[in-house]
Amino acid sequence: MAEKAKKKGNAIVETIKTIVYALLIAGVFRTLFFQPFWIPSGSMKETLLIGDFLFVNKMAYGYSYASCPSVMLPGVGINIDAEDICGMLKGDNTRLFGSQPERGDVVVFRHPVSGRDFIKRLVGLPGDRIQVTAGVLSINGEPVKLQPDGVFSETYAPQGPQRSRPRCANGPVGEGAVCEKIREIETFPDGNSHTILNIGNQGMDNTGVYTVPEGHFFFMGDNRDNSSDSRLPQSAGGVGFVPFENLIGRADRIMFSSAGRSMLFFWTWRGDRFFKAVE
């Protein structure tokens, strides 16, 4: 009987050890290589849609305090921030094995004030002068090239777990109606091209000139009229300039996509977006 109890006790210990080892391996993998990211908002449409699931390449820019994972499970009272784990590494704006991002990269970064993870397109490098005039982005005094590319259409209805509704160029429209946005191909001076969306003249379509400080970057969402980004300073609730150390990694490929409230709703899966490259 004692021998049986001993074996049972050993089995429990081994199970606990296996779970701990698995969590440690997963933590190391997530810290050093790839971090999962679920797109919660429409600020990067149509490059990224609400419900896209991707892995962020953490090796792209090297490592900083922001590379440590955050574990937030409100339902069970767990709220561990990357700064709680690696906060001692914060403050010098440097990275281990650091590599400079390129203009046009789609980047996940920590908001400089709130610490929340954001995903936007990098448009301004250190020293760049950035301005938006009548909705047209200028880099160092040179307007980017814009080519009309038709209309982006979607249904006006609650989207994703947050049940947010899209903004429309042809709005206001009723529930279930077609919501349209102006689609354009934006080309940076280096030839990098991507799709952006607009709904018309908005408050952030005309800005002053932003000079990006050394060691910082300027980000904008591809859904230009529905994005909180570097055009709005941190003091006004925006993103402002983002320090190099706050970059988490580059988004390279969508692995999975679901248009429903849950990834378990298989009838809402977007099969045409599985393993789609982020451009």
**Bridge partners, residue 270, by sequence:** none
Shared domain check, 69 and 160? yes
Shared domain check, 143 and 44? yes
Residue range 44-55: mean pLDDT, rounded: 95
Between the CA of residue 149 and those of 50, 179, 183, what are the distances in Å? 21, 16, 5
Shared domain check, 96 and 52? yes
Between the CA of residue 118 and those of 62, 122, 172, 221, 229, what are the distances in Å? 18, 12, 28, 10, 9
Please answer whether residues 232 and 207 qualify as being in contact, where contact means their C-beta atoms are separated by less than 8 angstroms: no
Shared domain check, 246 and 190? yes
Shared domain check, 207 and 145? yes
DSSP 68: S
pLDDT in tens, 129-182: 999 999 999 999 999 999 999 999 999 999 988 889 999 999 889 999 999 999
Task: Tell me the pLDDT band of 214, cut-offs 50, 70 and 90.
Answer: very high
Tokens of 162: 């947050």
Please answer whether residues 246 and 218 qualify as being in contact, where contact means their C-beta atoms are separated by less than 8 angstroms: no
Shared domain check, 144 and 72? yes
Residue 28 has pLDDT above 60, yes or no: no
Shared domain check, 5 and 41? no
Least confident range from 72-81, 113-122, 184-193, 265-274: namely 72-81
Count of all residues that appear for the chain in the document: 279
pLDDT in tens, 72-112: 666 666 677 888 788 888 888 989 888 999 999 999 999 99
Residue range 243-252: mean pLDDT, rounded: 96
Residues labelled catalytic:
43, 120
Q: What percent of the chain has pLDDT over 90?
A: 65
For residue 251, the SS3 value is strand
Q: 256 is in which domain, residue-wise?
A: 33-277
Shared domain check, 156 and 45? yes
CATH number for the domain spanning 147: value is 2.10.109.10
Cα separation, 80 vs 71, in Å, equals: 5
Shared domain check, 48 and 21? no
Indicate the number of domains in the chain: 2
Between the CA of residue 148 and those of 32, 152, 174, what are the distances in Å? 40, 11, 26
Identify the CA nearest to 56 among candidates 12, 119, 10: 119
For residue 203, the SS3 value is helix
Shared domain check, 59 and 20? no
Shared domain check, 49 and 27? no
Which helix (H) or strand (E) covers residue 109, if one does? Answer: strand 106-110
Mean pLDDT, the chain, whole residue set: 87
Cα separation, 198 vs 209, in Å, equals: 21
Q: What is the pLDDT of residue 73?
A: 61
Shared domain check, 123 and 41? yes
Which helix (H) or strand (E) covers residue 24, if one does? Answer: helix 2-32
Q: What is the pLDDT of residue 171?
A: 81
Non-local (6+) Cβ contacts of 261 within 8 A are: 160, 161, 163
